Structure 1
């Protein structure tokens, strides 16, 4: 310890070290938390769309055929191929969150959910501040940060590197 170092300097240094430690922990914890936070609302929605294996509920079909409309530049437009779209959305709302939770094809799943959020915004334009901005922000953060170390993507990358290293040896 430097005797000339003041108490304030020592406290400031220790505080900076503590913040660096917290930031290091946050870099590990943030990606899986972001993945979970984005996955859960979509997964919960997806689970409500089905009556059985690959059997859409009547309510889901009704919503896509009669209730859900695109709001574009003041015009209200019916969804194209609502039965097909209901099925695709129902599958996507299960598969994409599961991929996120596992950390597999993470950036692709986040991008797909970001695009879904943009379409959902066109269907529910009043949901921007309450839901859609939150989902969009989570998806963008996942795209920027990647899956993180606690993910299957990371495990696959490590296995590939290990295999490539063996190939060089």
Structure 2
């Protein structure tokens, strides 16, 4: 390698060439799918972690989950706060959804429906913990993005032909 060749690979032309190669790689159609996969996983994680903490075993809801919905958590609506109706049922449904919906998101199966379910859960969580809005708005934005742009090509929905988004 001559000095001229060495200078070209590290000088402005080398940097410009590197920038062109990076830009070409980022503009391929695989990048949006990878971004959508990361978005699905990022939304799934906090709900999965919360769901896992509600169970002691298969369909065995722990006492803490029911206690939270029966005495600690309240719905902050006008004129409230109000107790959750049927706290045992609400704890079971939310714990089940927090396990099932993240699995569907990560697999990319019924993706838009799973994202919609987590958006609804986020709205209820916002009504329960109003001061948590900076985090809740992030979850809502991720869910809305998944609903708008679909699961991407790295998803079972895409491979089985139910969603080409």
Q: Give the TM-score range, shorter chain.
A: 0.7 to 0.9
Candidates 125, 137, 148, aligned match of 1:120: 125
Is 1:142 aligned with 2:146?
Answer: yes
- The equivalent residue for 1:104 is 109
Consecutive unaligned residues in structure 2, runs of 5 or more: 1-14
How far apart are residue 39 of structure 1 and its match?
Answer: 0.4
- Measured in 2, the distance between the counterparts of 1:119 and 1:133 equals 12
Moved more, 11-20 or 84-93: 11-20
> What is the match of residue 88 of structure 1?
93
Segments of 5+ residues of structure 1 without an aligned counterpart are 1-10, 161-169
Note closer, same or farther for the CA distance 1:14–1:55 as it changes in structure 2 (3 Å cut): closer
- The structure-2 alpha-carbon separation of the partners of 1:75 and 1:23, relative to structure 1 and needing over 3 Å to count, comes to farther
- Corresponding pairs, count: 149
**TM-score normalized by the length of structure 1:** 0.80
Q: State the match for 2:83 in structure 1.
A: 78
Give the one of 154, 158, 163 matched to 1:154.
158
Give SS of 1:72's match. coil
How do residues 10-25 of structure 1 correspond to structure 2 at under 5 angstroms?
Answer: 18-24=22-28, 25=30
Separation (CA, whole Å) in 2 of partners of 1:93 and 1:64: 15
Q: Distance in 2 between matches of 1:128 and 1:59?
A: 24
Instruction: Work out the CA distance in 1 between the residues paired with 2:24 and 2:78.
Output: 47
Equivalent-residue separation in structure 2 for 1:116 and 1:132 (angstroms): 10
